[in-house]
Amino acid sequence: MANKPIVDFEAIKNNLSNVSKPIQVLNENAEITDQEVFDSFSDEDLVEFMKKMVWERALHEQTMNFSRQGRMGFYAPTEGEEASEMGTVLAMKKQDYLLPAYRDVPQLIQHGATVTEAYLWSRGHVLGNKFKARSMMPQIIIGAAYVEAAGVGLGIKKNKEEDTIAFTYTGDGGTSQGDSYEGMNFAGAYQAPVLFIVQNNGFAISTPRAKQTAAPTLAQKAVAAGIPSVQVDGMDILACYAVAKAARDYMVAGNGPVLIETLTYRFGAHSSAGDDPKRYRTKEQEQPWFEKDPLIRLRKVLTDKGLWSEDEEDKLVDEYKASFKDAIKEADNVPADKVSDMLKRTFEIPTPEMKQEIDKFEAKESK
């Protein structure tokens, strides 16, 4: 019997780490690493990217203030993920279908919902689901948006909708959910035009990426579904936009789904519910990521080009936060949802038991 094994599994395992470096256009020192791609953006493009990231950072800060005041329901902080979120959503078109998760409210607003509608969604009000954006409401179940996106993508293909895709998000923890793989596998099998975006921010609440999976990259998980995938510097809005646009162009040409893993970082807590990041990560772990802040690197480029100033940014922040204060006031003035109305929306034709419940609550509400 031969001493040499028929298969060298260790070599196969070691080869899994032989992956390309994440795509990048602008590094953490604001140095251009891909001149050709950088030159494809006009000065106006660069300024617009910066405005969108400043907008999202201001949205986060003001919304967290509202949350501390008890004026919000559930809210998932986004500070640090501006490049990943704005870069990808800006590469989409209004006819595309968004299937967001709960940390993707900024993308939902950019895709057509209003800030007031987003705040109402946070509060669990029915009007928070009635936006004009071509989107579902944010999905609370981890990974479930991938399943929804697969179905929407198949619908796009069967209906022969031109120049249209579905795009969806999950975090690194979401890739450990069965729904995520099922959605990717379905889209891959039917070659549906779905862009799967994994925002790898390092932690699934408190579970670090290294403990979630032995896979060297999360992008590799798409391979089993026959889907091309790539890692991107998620703190570089230029790279995120360029890769998302390239993926969209590839898909509308009839080539099936794509997965993008953005390497980003959640600067604060997982949610406004109150988890404490200091309990599961150290200052030494956080500091390198704070230095990669997506706003810092693009701000330096624009300032060096004479296209940006601190005064201009401060003015924008004030304007944005004033608009968010107007939005929360508008949400405050919306009449509260009634229990009887929620019951009426459950079934098209209420069951006899539910009709009794509706009558009971209507009697209480009329007093």
Catalytic sites, residue numbers: 266, 270, 280
Beta bridge partners of 23: 232
Helices assigned H by DSSP within the chain = 9-15, 35-39, 43-68, 82-89, 105-110, 115-122, 144-158, 178-190, 209-212, 237-252, 283-290, 294-304, 310-332, 339-344, 352-365
Report the first-to-last Cα separation within the chain, whole angstroms.
88
Decide: 145 and 168 in contact? Cβ < 8 Å. yes
Dihedral, 301, 304, 310, 311 alpha carbons, nearest 10: -120
Decide: 59 and 115 in contact? Cβ < 8 Å. yes
CA distance 220 to 229: 7
CA distance 43 to 85: 21
